[in-house]
């Protein structure tokens, strides 16, 4: 494993610890963190979501974090307040492991930018 991969995993585990401190529950995996981001971006946290809505929340989160590198751009909100994104830059073709690394890197950047006041201890 490369040093940058070890650094990414160290930062990722630090983020999971910080999330568990704030929420008093640790997300199980990347999808759990993406779900939290999707709920945050939607702004409708005080309700239950259907299975389809949960999938949509993951999509919102992926678009939001990848927008930090210019892959997606917010088009606007629909009448229910759900954000809609458009692809503006072609995504690289990665295997599953590289896709996960890309998303984790962008999730870390998201938390650094959006929640520095909550997560000041991230390395």
Question: pLDDT per residue over 17-68, tens digit each?
Answer: 989 888 888 888 999 999 999 999 999 887 899 999 999 999 999 999 999 9
Tokens of 48: 């239950």
Q: Residue 87 forms beta bridges with which residues?
A: 72
**More confident position, 77 or 2:** 77
pTM, 2 dp: 0.88
Q: What is the percent of the chain with per-residue pLDDT over 70, rounded to a whole number?
A: 93
Residue from 13, 12, 30, 2 nearest 96 by CA: 30
What value, to the nearest 5°, has the Cα angle with vertex 74 and ends 100 and 88? 65
What value, to the nearest 5°, has the Cα angle with vertex 19 and ends 13 and 25? 105
pLDDT of residue 3: 80
């Amino acid at each position: 494993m490369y040093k940058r991969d070890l650094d990414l995993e160290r930062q990722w585990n630090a983020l999971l610890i910080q999330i568990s401190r704030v929420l008093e529950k640790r997300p199980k995996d990347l999808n759990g963190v993406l779900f939290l981001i999707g709920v945050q971006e939607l702004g409708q946290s005080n309700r239950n979501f259907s299975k389809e809505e949960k999938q949509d929340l993951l999509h919102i989160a992926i678009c939001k974090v990848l927008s930090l590198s210019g892959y997606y751009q917010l088009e606007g909100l629909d009448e229910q307040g759900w954000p809609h994104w458009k692809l503006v830059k072609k995504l690289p073709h990665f295997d599953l492991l590289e896709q996960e690394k890309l998303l984790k890197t962008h999730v870390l950047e998201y938390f650094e930018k959006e929640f520095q006041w909550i997560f000041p201890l991230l390395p």
